[in-house]
Amino acid sequence: MPHIETPEGIRIRYDERGAGRPLVLAHGFGVSLEMWMPQMHALSQEYRLITWDARGHGGSSAPGHPEAYTMPLLARDLRYLLEGLDAAEGAVIGGMSFGGQIALQYAANYPADTYALVLSDSTTRGNEPPRDPRVAADAWGVAGDPGLEGCLHAMAGRPDLTALLPSLPMPALVLYGQHDEMIGQGVQRLIDGLPRRRVTVLGDCFHGTSGQRPQAWNDAVLRFLADVEAGVQLGDEEFV
């Protein structure tokens, strides 16, 4: 599978298929771009679908020190990838959970180049103090894995973007599962803060909606993007 190398020497593995406007999806914690297999055929029929392994995951580089893992650095990796593929301008940026955090950081850093935002099973950090990533590493069973420990470090210390949400100009889709206790009430911060957003709740789903109900997830994303292209007013909430 192809890869690019950032100026810092970080190898980023990626997959692309289809043609048209770039649609970029970032995976969840502890998995890889293969988590998007249930989305690849459907979404690449209408978009240039780009999936990728964040540093510390899959076939991408895994630096050995925690300071190499921050949410801004992960967003910058994505920027290098899209610039290398000539796909940075006018891209739809999305992600699930940990990947949604990267997508939101990217949109905050590069709002003019983010055509639309897809945030699945994700939220901002909020005003809670950062959690100790070492405790989380033990709880997740990944202690000793530099990439996964590093990404827990990035999540624990990520900037809280809640106050920035109202200034984001791009349309956004917020998807989450009806029974998702991992993001709890935190998803309401996205719903309340994003000025141009649609909310889609997937019934009978927990964390990881794109894998549990892939067709409904794909349909929601494609419907959202078609409405954005058509200039349909957002702000609605749907339960599917």
Longest Cα separation, the chain: 49
- Closest C-alpha to 125, from 148, 147, 144, 100: 100
What are the domain boundaries of the chain?
3-239
Q: Is the dihedral of CA 214, 212, 116, 197 positive or negative?
A: positive
Q: Is 237 left (phi over 0), alpha (psi -120 to 50) or beta?
A: beta
Predicted confidence (pLDDT) per residue in 185-196, tens digit: 899 999 999 999
d(C-alpha 104, C-alpha 111), whole Å: 10
Half-sphere exposure of 60 (CA within 13 A, CB side): 33
Predicted confidence (pLDDT) per residue in 126-176, tens digit: 987 666 666 555 556 666 788 999 999 899 899 999 999 999 999 999 999
d(C-alpha 102, C-alpha 93), whole Å: 9
**In CATH terms, is domain 3-239 a member of 3.40.50.1820?**
yes
- The overall pTM is greater than 0.85: yes
DSSP summary character for residue 53: P
Predicted confidence (pLDDT) per residue in 19-60, tens digit: 999 999 999 999 999 999 999 999 999 999 999 999 999 999
